[in-house]
């Protein structure tokens, strides 16, 4: 970044990185700290699958195979969510865009609103570690807090530190085989977006193998740098 971008009160941030890089964890921290809205296309698609909508039915098999859902479906879901008024506070896009076609569609949606991307933040991690990270993760069904069998266990087994809930869920696609396919999809289809956003002077790379809090601090620094 060369500082030529105009600071904004309602930033549009993108989190990029392979599955397991910590996009969801960090997006939730930014949401709490800065009042931004986290928009996770993965969460939206999982909700659509659960609700049995047409989009959900079309997405299910792709998600289970660790492949990308069609640009058309995902872009429509994201555009509908972006049209809701709370997004005026600023958003963190977690898991979108994932292809160049999606990035171009996003640019067009934002341009219509007189907005642009303020920062695309790449969480940089080692592939080998990702399979372990993703295969061990689970979530509180009540509040969505994320945990991991090795790296972040709740203080009391099966009880959420945050809300006290006792129902923990694991994603169907968080198994070693599917994670490998998801990593391949990331490298083939999503990694080219680093060049795309670098070309727009919006790319920030953050090493993301360390402690969650250290990475959160780095991210907060980026948000401060783009906020008016």
Residue whose CB is nearest to ligand ADP in the complex, by number: 42
When binding is defined by CB under 6 A, the residue of 11, 16, 19, 204 that contacts ligand ADP is 19
Choosing from 28, 46, 60, 98, the catalytic residue is: 98
Distance CA(35)–CA(16), nearest Å, equals 20
When binding is defined by CB under 6 A, the residue of 28, 60, 133, 182 that contacts ligand ADP is 182
Q: Per rule CB under 6 A, is residue 102 in the interface with ligand ADP?
A: yes
Distance CA(53)–CA(190), nearest Å, equals 26
C-alpha distances out from residue 153 to 60, 107, 141, 148, 162, Å: 29, 39, 15, 6, 12
What is the size of the binding site for ligand ADP (CB under 6 A)?
17
Task: Based on the residue annotation, tell me whether 137 is a catalytic residue of this protein.
Answer: yes
CB neighbours of residue 197 within 10 Å? 20
Task: Based on the residue annotation, tell me whether 200 is a catalytic residue of this protein.
Answer: no
CB neighbours of residue 155 within 10 Å? 7
Binding window for ligand ADP (CB under 6 A); candidates: 91-99, 148-156, 195-203, 209-217: 91-99
When binding is defined by CB under 6 A, the residue of 14, 16, 49, 63 that contacts ligand ADP is 63
β 168-169/137-140 pair status: antiparallel
* Active site residue ranges: 23, 98, 137, 171, 182
């Amino acid at each position: 970044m060369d500082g030529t971008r105009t600071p904004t009160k309602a930033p549009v941030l993108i989190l990029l990185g392979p599955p397991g890089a910590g996009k969801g964890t960090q997006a939730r921290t930014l949401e709490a700290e800065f009042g931004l809205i986290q928009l996770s296309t993965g969460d939206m698609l999982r909700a659509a699958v659960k609700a049995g909508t047409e989009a959900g039915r079309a997405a299910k098999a792709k998600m289970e195979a660790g492949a990308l859902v069609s640009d058309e479906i995902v872009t429509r879901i994201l555009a509908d969510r972006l049209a809701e008024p709370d997004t005026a506070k600023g958003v963190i896009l977690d898991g979108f865009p994932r292809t160049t076609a999606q990035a171009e569609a996003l640019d067009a949606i934002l341009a219509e609103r007189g907005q642009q991307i303020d920062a695309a933040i790449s969480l940089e991690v080692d592939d080998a570690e990702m399979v372990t990270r993703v295969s061990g993760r689970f979530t509180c069904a009540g509040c969505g807090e994320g945990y991991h069998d090795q790296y972040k266990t709740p203080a009391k087994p099966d009880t959420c530190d945050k809300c006290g809930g006792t129902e923990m869920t694991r994603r169907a696609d968080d198994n070693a085989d599917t994670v490998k396919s998801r990593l391949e999809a990331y490298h083939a289809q999503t990694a080219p977006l680093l060049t795309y956003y670098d070309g727009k002077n919006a790319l920030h790379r953050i090493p993301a193998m360390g402690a969650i809090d250290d990475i959160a601090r780095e991210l907060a620094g980026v948000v401060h740098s783009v906020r008016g």
